Amino acid sequence: MPAPAQHRIIFQHIDEPGYSNDIDCYLRNGGYEVLKKAVTQKPEDLREEVKKSGLRGRGGAGFPCGFKWSLVDRKSGKPIYLIVNADESEPGTFKDRYIMHQDPHQLIEGTMISCFANDVKQAYIYIRGEMPEGARILEKAIAEARAKNLVGPNILGTGYSCEIFVHRGAGAYICGEETGLIESLEGKRANPRIKPPYFPAVLGLYQCPTIVNNVETLCHVKYIVQHGGAEYAKIGTPGNTGTRIFCVSGHVQRPGYYEFPAGTITMGQLLNDVCGGPLPGRTFKAVIPGGSSAKVLRFGERYKGKRKVGTDMVDYDWGVEDVPMDFDSLAMIGSMGGSGGVIVMDDSVNMVEALANINAFYQHESCGQCTPCREGSLWMKKISSRMVHGEARKEDAALLKSVADQIPGRTICAFGEACSWPTQSFLIKFKDEFEGYAEAKKNLPADRLSLV
Amino acid sequence: MSTTTSSPSVNLKPETLARIDEVITHYPVKRSATLPLLHLIQEDAGYISEDAILWIAQKLELQPINVLEVVTFYPMFRRAPIGRRHIKVCRTLSCALLGGYKTCENFQKEFNTTLGATSPDGEVTVDFVECLASCGTAPVVLIDETLHEKVDAAKVKQISAQIRAEAAARK
Ligand SMILES: Cc1cc2nc3c(=O)[nH]c(=O)nc-3n(C[C@H](O)[C@H](O)[C@H](O)COP(=O)(O)O)c2cc1C
Ligand code: SF4
Ligand code: FES
């Protein structure tokens, strides 16, 4: 089956010739009409639309947005904050970058609508430090919106006031984790907080109720308020509504970003039809489907079980190519849709070396609070790097796996899972390659690309 | 670190000082301005000196350790000057799969330097950084504030030549 056509709702204007990131261009294209409509509605009605839409967060966890908003403590009398998570730091993910650089007003409109819907008076956009240009573009865009009375005091004469400020990170991945982000915004080290009790919806920024949403999620909110939750829910599949942006990188002919109705395209269609297949003379070996923390899939393996289609339970028997690219299907086969970052590796890649690259990332980024994560990520890096650069032993395979197995479930934040899943899944799916690496290494081409 | 009673000396441009006072107003709690102040001072002075840490602590009514622990946590802040240009090559998987390590090596050769060190002419410092969220155009390199995409061997040569030309023009 050929791939369906792209359906760009969030990336509608990305790379469009003549489309610029200033407010005049945005207004010419119908910009801020949705905000104007939204501020005449009741906040609770807007929240209801978001609930009806079935929107799931695009930052990684796929948490239902309407439900998240319903958890916000609205009775405490404390101010409610909204933080836009623009940290975009999960390796393999590159979608928020283009929204912020090319269509910043879409994000600002989505943010203002979400603030109004949640009685928020102060929002912060937490953008990663390595995007200085993005931060400047957003600051300029906010100033433009403020000048047109779309941000700031007494918005459009409604009596509703809300400010947005841009806050820059400084190169730490853990700031993407929402409670680490909050600590960072408070001017501290980004050490994630323990939950319970520190659920942002109740005890977030300055111990006040706080909503943290991903950049893309807030753009979907704008679309939902424009078209209605029920209309939005018609895009995609039940439980996986709306579109998904896939960021494809690594060994394909046409890497890039592609937006499709969720669940309507399979991995095979995405990689072969949309991205042009493997590089000349190569075959696909492995793919990480949802950012580097997601468990790796091996081409050639089969996934079998029963799944719900409508009201029926049907058997499925899939190869990697057959898996629909939605949150639930990817979870069903033991991985995750995560942030939409699809990293492809072909048969030129040695999996020990690829894992050593990933492990170096997690070791560098662990915040260091929890012993299993701090020590575990360090040892996984040390062992896998030693295998590549020094002596490799057969028993290193089991050793790596045992270190990884001791981390998840024993840490303050989900980084513990994120750093152990690559090692666990690589070791399960490519066990032979790890056990045989010492021998294989002698015959690997000396001029192959270094990965670590 | 020593805590002195005399006021710490930082030599900041008037624009920087004005931006510092403005940015503090963005937050209901002064401490939140720690990262913005560090960025502003690093952009102005090139690095974070001991006096800068003491100065920020005074400005935000914090203990110096509160600022120091932030400086040491975040990779972007540095305690010593670096080259005039900062070449940050992405090290992470998608870039590595398309030659990121080679790109980094080539920059080091071009400027006769090693990873993390400043070139003998003081012109550049080459570093590895983690995923820059542009994996679809790998390998990528952030030079100061500009992102360069698909930086293969030819592009390394071209960018390096341009950096040298700009350096020569300054002399
Ligand atoms: C280690 C770690 C890193 C994360 N990095 C990001 C990130 O870069 N961007 C992001 O939006 N969410 C990231 N998240 C998810 C956030 O914690 C949070 O769930 C998300 O911002 C919520 O927004 P959403 O519901 O709109 O997806 C990360 C989570 C973890 C555990
Ligand atoms: S799991 Fe790792 S990153 Fe998360 S709080 Fe613990 S040490 Fe820090
Ligand atoms: S891996 Fe280099 S930009 Fe993401």
Q: Is residue A277 part of a domain?
A: yes
Name the token pair of A361: 């990332």
CATH of the domain at A290: 3.10.20.600
Indicate if A259 and A213 belong to the same structural domain: no
Using N-to-C axis directions, what is the helix angle for B34-45 and B64-73, rounded to 10°? 70
- For ligand 2, pick from A191, A375, A377 the residue to mutate: most ligand atoms within 8 Å of CB: A191
* Interval A360-417: pLDDT, tens: 999 999 999 999 999 999 999 999 999 999 999 999 999 999 999 999 999 999 999 9
Domain boundary among A346, A370, A389: A346
Domain boundary among A234, A252, A274: A234
Indicate if A48 and A120 belong to the same structural domain: yes
CATH of the domain at A390: 1.20.1440.230
What's the whole-number average pLDDT of chain A? Answer: 97
Three-state DSSP state, A122: strand
Give the predicted TM-score (pTM) of the model.
Answer: 0.97
Give the separation between CA A48 and CA B55, rounded to whole angstroms: 49
pLDDT of residue B1: 54
Q: Is residue A12 part of a domain?
A: no
Give the separation between CA A25 and CA A176, rounded to whole angstroms: 31
Indicate if A267 and A192 belong to the same structural domain: no
pLDDT of residue A114: 98
Q: Is residue A410 part of a domain?
A: yes
Taking residues A289-303, report their average pLDDT. Answer: 97
Name the token pair of A113: 């609508």
CATH of the domain at A147: 3.40.50.11540
Give ligand 2 pocket residues (Cβ under 6 A). Answer: A 174, 192, 366-370, 373-374, 411-413, 415-416
Indicate if A145 and A221 belong to the same structural domain: yes
Q: Is residue A199 part of a domain?
A: yes
Ordered alpha helix ranges (H), A65-149: 65-70, 96-102, 104-117, 132-147
Within chain B, what is the greatest distance between any pair of CA atoms? 54
3-state SS of chain B: helix, strand, coil percent to 5? 50, 10, 40
Binning pLDDT at 50, 70 and 90, where does residue B110 land?
Answer: very high
Indicate if A137 and A173 belong to the same structural domain: yes
Binning pLDDT at 50, 70 and 90, where does residue B9 land?
Answer: confident
Indicate if A201 and A249 belong to the same structural domain: no
Q: Is residue A6 part of a domain?
A: no
Indicate if A324 and A426 belong to the same structural domain: no
Full domain range(s) for residue A191: 23-234
Q: Is residue A216 part of a domain?
A: yes
Binning pLDDT at 50, 70 and 90, where does residue B6 land?
Answer: low
Indicate if A78 and A192 belong to the same structural domain: yes
- For ligand 2, pick from A87, A173, A174 the residue to mutate: most ligand atoms within 8 Å of CB: A174
Indicate if A215 and A261 belong to the same structural domain: no
Pairing of strands A302-309, A297-298: unpaired
* Interval B31-85: pLDDT, tens: 999 999 999 999 999 999 999 999 999 999 999 999 999 999 999 999 999 999 9
Domain boundary among A290, A313, A346: A346
Indicate if A127 and A146 belong to the same structural domain: yes
Nearest-by-CA chain B residue for A247: B136
Name the token pair of B95: 């870039």
Q: Is residue A437 part of a domain?
A: yes
**Window B:90-119, CB contacts with A under 8 Å:** 91-94, 96-99, 101-102
* Residue pair A233/A239 in contact by the 8 Å Cβ criterion: no
Q: Is residue A17 part of a domain?
A: no
| Contact (CB<8Å) B136/A247 | yes
Q: Which ligand is nearest to the CA of B150?
A: 3
* Interval A150-184: pLDDT, tens: 999 999 999 999 999 999 999 999 999 999 999 99
Q: How far apart are the first and last CA of chain B?
A: 38
Q: Rounded to 5 degrees, what angle do the CA atoms A91, A110, B137 make?
A: 30
* Interval A96-113: pLDDT, tens: 999 999 999 999 999 999
How far CA A312 is from CA of A266, A308, A419, in Å, comes to 21, 6, 36
Indicate if A180 and A135 belong to the same structural domain: yes
Ligand 2 atom, smallest distance to A374 CA: 7
pLDDT of residue A309: 83
Structurally, chain A folds into a number of domains equal to 3
What's the whole-number average pLDDT of chain B? Answer: 95
Indicate if A313 and A362 belong to the same structural domain: no
Element (H, E) at A408: none
Asked if residue B5 has pLDDT above 70, the reply is no
Taken in order of first residue, the domains within chain B and their CATH numbers are: 14-73 (1.10.10), 85-170 (3.40.30.10)
Residues 6+ apart with CB under 8 A from A6: A258, A259, A260, A274
Please write down the long-range contacts of A392-399, taking CB distance under 8 Å and 24 or more positions apart: A392/A352, A392/A437, A392/A438, A392/A441, A393/A438, A394/A435, A394/A436, A394/A438, A396/A434, A396/A437, A397/A427, A397/A431, A397/A434, A397/A435
